[in-house]
Amino acid sequence: MDRPNAAYIEKLPADTVLARAARPVLAEMAAEIESEPVSLILTDATGTVLQRYTGDRELAVTLDCVDLAPGFRYAESEVGTNGIGTALEVGAPLLIRGDEHYNGLLRKFSCAGALVTHPVTGTLLGVVDLTTLERNTNTLLLSFAKLAASRIKDRILAETDELDRALLRDYHAACQRSSRPVIAVGDEVLMMNARTQQKFDSRDQAAIIDRTRDSRGRTEAFTTLADLPSGITARLSYQPTFVAGRLAGGIVRVREQVAKAHTLDVGRPLALHSIVGSSAQWRHTVRGVVDVCTRREWLVLDGEPGVGKTALLRAAHTHVRDGHDFAVLDAATLDAVELLEQVATALDVGSDVAVVHAHVLRNDDLSALSELLQTVRLDSPSDEPWVVLSMHVSHGVSDTHPILRLFPKTIIVPPLRHHLEDIPELVTHFLGIAAEGKVSMSTAASNQLMRMSWRGNIAHLRTVLDEIGRRRRSGVIEPQDLPPECHATTRRTLTQLEALERDAVVDALALHGGDKAAAARSLGMSRATIYRKIRDFGVVF
């Protein structure tokens, strides 16, 4: 290499757990070595420099010449062997002397890197690095870096304790003020009171906890409904807890919205065309939509993208009002004026109407739609049309918007991760379409699909199965036949680059029969790197 090829990241995160804890620690320790020709550097877990303290002006200029400065990423894959990137690769503190650097321009430096991990979870957060000119190399560099990393961990632990204490305080207060079920949720904390355990069986508790986890990181209060496996509808009210502007977590109060004795009969599954699933929660949702359609009660159908809202509406309408016109109009593809015109035209001829993706409409367009529907309500004959808004309420529409007053009922379609037990039936159904019934899936492969979070919901599952059907036109699908993304169980959303890395790792493992060393060699990476990526991506092989 002629010079380091460190990528530059324009926007660095300013308010992370690592940055907050490290700032006072490194400032204090930098003051201790202010007169020394040493630079104290903090990076994140990718090797991107977040902070740099350098008292020696000559050294600062020299570091700038090799881009060892805030915003630049010193990963081993980009600049070769160095105290930051190599420490990340091997997962241990180390000292890199000048002649050990791969890059010629870096051989004038010696550097010591020590990992900073979260004291509670063990998650890798970043690296503390001390860099000096090669002539000043001293084994104390590594000792000082390890001391700085240890102090940062202590500071994180103190902050974590403070946040957890605040969350615990609000949890106890909520339990004392109410006899209802209460749950506390934080980054590493999940607590539920005895009332929650008494009120809900184990399956309902699991569904509530799963839905509660979705609130992690939310900084605003909100209320949502959760249809539980038993048929109960629970109202979950979330209130965040803050400490000096920092989010500690939140308190979720749970209230039973529909008593079990009064829920719809979910024991007999309804046979709706193209609608698949036999879990209690899914049957409860389907029957609820059919029941509302039967009564022609205006409905808001809420749910994440890809959960099957439009398919469910079409199937329920066909089941209940077969032969009656049903105009399904997409707010995401129609101009607002055109949408209103088509809604008016459909209602004029007595058609039932569904406006899907209504959450993308601006407030003034929603108000215009509200006025139009209000007129229909006042002027329509006794044979009132069925009107539905399909939306994702938390992504655009305020729950106080006047249009919602026209719709007495809201049903939430659960995300696929809340009824994973329906995946085998969905797989059979979609493979039957994609491969004309000539392909089946083994139990092991189906179980692997049930380990995924499916953030794209049923639409995502269908896309995956369609792709499998194009590649495999007969026989039994085994785990190794699944696409790379199905071998990763990480819950976080991957960037495009991370997804490409994950696919490359899975393909290499498949090619070499799961041999991690051989897979690493074929990818040109170290064994430490492939083990880290397998762990980070949750690769199962």
Q: What is the pLDDT of residue 50?
A: 94
pLDDT score, position 144? 94
Q: Which amino acid is residue 512, in one-letter code?
A: H
pLDDT band at 116 (very low <50, low <70, confident <90, very high): very high
3-class DSSP assignment, residue 145: helix
Query: Per mean pLDDT, which range of 171-185, 256-270, 343-357 is the poorest?
Result: 256-270
Q: Is the pLDDT of residue 260 over 50?
A: no
Q: What is the DSSP letter of 350?
A: T
What is the structure's pLDDT at 265? 47
Q: Among residues of the chain, what percentage have pLDDT more than 70?
A: 91
Number of helices (H), then strands (E), in the chain: 17, 17
pLDDT attached to residue 28: 93
- Based on C-alpha coordinates, what's the Rg of the chain? 28
* Three-state SS at 244: coil
Mean per-residue pLDDT, 499-526: 83
Neighbours of 300 (CB within 10 A): 21
Higher pLDDT, 459 or 434: 459
How confident is the model at residue 379, as a pLDDT? 61
Least confident of 156-160, 250-254, 426-430: 156-160
Provide the pLDDT for residue 413: 92
pLDDT higher for 487 or 429? 429
pLDDT at 490: 64
Kindly state the DSSP code that residue 308 receives in the 8-state scheme. Answer: S
pLDDT of residue 186: 81
Give residue 525's pLDDT: 82
Dist CA 226 CA 95 (whole Å): 53
Residue 399: per-residue pLDDT: 60
Residue 1: pLDDT band with limits 50, 70, 90: very low
- Indicate if the pLDDT at residue 401 is higher than 50: yes
pLDDT score of 164: 82
What per-residue confidence (pLDDT) applies to 481?
A: 86
3-state SS class at 160: helix
- For residue 514, is it left (φ>0), alpha (ψ between -120 and 50) or beta? left
CB contact burial 34-49 (16+ within 10 A = b; e otherwise): eebbbbbbbbbbbbbb
Q: Does residue 395 surpass a pLDDT of 60?
A: no
**Residue 228 is encoded by which pair of tokens?**
């539980």
How far is 419 from 207, CA to CA, in rounded Å? 9
Provide the pLDDT for residue 520: 86
Which of 79-88, 125-134, 504-513 tops mean pLDDT? 125-134
Helix (H) or strand (E) holding 196: helix 194-199
**The predicted structure's pLDDT at residue 263:** 43
The answer to whether 346 and 386 are in contact (CB under 8 A) is no
In percent, the amount of the chain with pLDDT more than 90 equals: 36
Q: Phi/psi at 3 (nearest 5 deg)?
A: -155, 160
Residues found in the chain: 541
Task: Return d(Cα 345, Cα 122) in angstroms, integer.
Answer: 60
Q: How far is CA 413 from the centre of its chain?
A: 18
Domains and CATH numbers, the chain: 17-158 (3.30.450.40), 178-258 (3.30.450.20), 264-414 (3.40.50.300), 420-537 (1.10.8.60)
Beta bridge partners of 388: 299, 354
**Pairing relationship of beta strands 439-441 and 475-477 according to DSSP bridges:** parallel
Q: How far apart are CA 96 and CA 158, in angstroms?
A: 32
pLDDT mean over 103-124: 87
- Which is more confident, 514 or 304? 304
Q: Is the pLDDT of residue 378 over 70?
A: no
The pLDDT of residue 246 is above 90: no
Q: What is the pLDDT of residues 414-449, one digit of tens each?
A: 889 888 889 999 999 998 887 776 888 998 888 889
Please work out, in degrees rounded to the nearest 5, the angle formed at the alpha carbon of residue 296 by the alpha carbons of 292 and 298: 75
DSSP 3-state assignment of 127? Answer: strand
The average pLDDT across 307-330 equals 94
Bridge partners of residue 185, in order along the sequence:
190, 250
Contact between residue 175 and residue 188 where contact means Cβ atoms under 8 Å apart = no
* Region of poorest pLDDT, from 304-308, 450-454, 533-537: 533-537
Tell me what the pLDDT averaged over the chain comes to. 85
> Is the pLDDT reported for residue 23 higher than 80?
yes
- 157-162 long-range contacts (CB < 8 A, ≥24 apart) are 157/119, 157/120, 159/17, 159/20, 159/21, 159/246, 160/119, 160/120, 160/188, 162/243
Burial bucket for residue 141 (CB in 10 Å: 0-12, 13-18, 19+): buried
Residues 368-381 have a mean pLDDT of: 78
- Contact between 22 and 8 under an 8 Å Cβ cutoff? The reply is no
How many other CB atoms are there within 10 angstroms of residue 120's CB atom? 15
Q: Which two tokens stand for residue 187?
A: 């980054």
What Å distances lie between residue 232 and 41, 48, 285, 454, CA to CA?
54, 48, 11, 24
Residue 3 has pLDDT above 70, yes or no: no
pLDDT at 218 over 90: no
Q: What is the mean pLDDT of residues 278-286?
A: 86
Please check the confidence at residue 396 and state whether its pLDDT lies above 90.
no
What is the average per-residue pLDDT within 149-158?
Answer: 91
511, 519 in Cβ contact below 8 A?
A: yes
d(CA 79, CA 81): 7
Whole-structure pTM value:
0.53
Lowest-confidence region among 5-19, 259-273, 457-471: 259-273
- 269 has pLDDT over 60: no
**pLDDT interval class at 319 (50, 70, 90):** very high
